[in-house]
Structure 1
Amino acid sequence: MIDPSADRAVFRQLADILRSQIESGELGPGDPLPSELRLAQEYTISRTTVRQAIAQLRTEGLVSVERPRGTFVRVPEQVEQITLARGDRVVARMPTDAERRSHRLGEGVPVLVVTSNDGTIKVHPADRVQLGRP
């Protein structure tokens, strides 16, 4: 339940509740979240607070907003195995707008930039790759 007198912001408390429902499987991949109005009424909070909680979950990459359809639990992408060679360097960062579009990245999803020994640079969506060594 949400405690308005708690030290934790109300929107963070709602985000915690929704995150818990997603992690437990109560809300599964592709499932819609309840509407802003329904969440506001159920937890006796403002729609602005609900929007802040949803924005937090979007930033974490847990949900996607599809206007005008609603907010949905993100469906995990298929993971690709990337084998790193000796000397390869990997840096994580947030994508540029162009990278976000070309990789169809949700908000809050970082990219992994792999620089090989020969200077070749490849950008990979961090939610779709698993790095390994030979």
Structure 2
Amino acid sequence: MTVDPRSHTPVYVQVADILRRRIESGELAPGVSLPSEARLTQEYGIGREAVRMAMSILRSEGLVSTVRGHGTRVRSSPERQRVELPAGASVVARMPTGRERNELHLDEGVPVLEIRHGKGEVEVKPGDQVELTRPTES
């Protein structure tokens, strides 16, 4: 897979697309470290800023997480908690506040689900860790 600097698609988007395909195919499995910035700049013949922008795209999509000093790793799919929506409840998906990201230990790019109950009560759940269900009718 190569990057075409003459393409109308920016090189950082091309690199993000290449890495996304490698993640989705399983070539880069959950928990695996992505190549270093230096390796990617060399492999694709692009600058460090383009590599950083590609990684930013993948982080915002929730595919990878970066820990300073430890590199970038493919995120694993978390186990999902089933949450039954009571009658009259509504759900809003949104990006978390900084405080919510810290409290819920969310990676960049992971949304939260705000579950609003009929009495004004609001629950905030990590969007990648819940499966919403409706009560089954008997």
Unaligned 5+ segments in structure 2 are none
Q: Distance in 2 between matches of 1:35 and 1:44?
A: 14
Q: How many residues align?
A: 134
- Give how far 1:67 is off: 1.2
Tell me the TM-score normalised to structure 2 length.
0.95
Tell me the percent identity: 51
When the two chains are superposed, the root-mean-square deviation of aligned CA atoms in Å is 0.7
- Give how far 1:97 is off: 0.9
Aligned to 1:30: 31
Q: Distance in 2 between matches of 1:32 and 1:17?
A: 15
Matched to 2:37, the amino acid is E
Tell me the TM-score normalised to structure 1 length.
0.98
Matched to 2:17, the amino acid is D
Q: What is the CA deviation profile of residues 46-89 of structure 1, one whole-angstrom value per residue up to 9, with x for unaligned ones?
A: 11111110011011111011110111001221100111111101
Q: Secondary structure, in 3 states, of the residue corresponding to 2:9?
A: coil
- Give how far 1:124 is off: 0.4
Aligned to 1:67: 68
Aligned to 1:114: 115
Alignment of 1:49-88 (within 5 A): 49-88=50-89
- Give how far 1:120 is off: 1.2
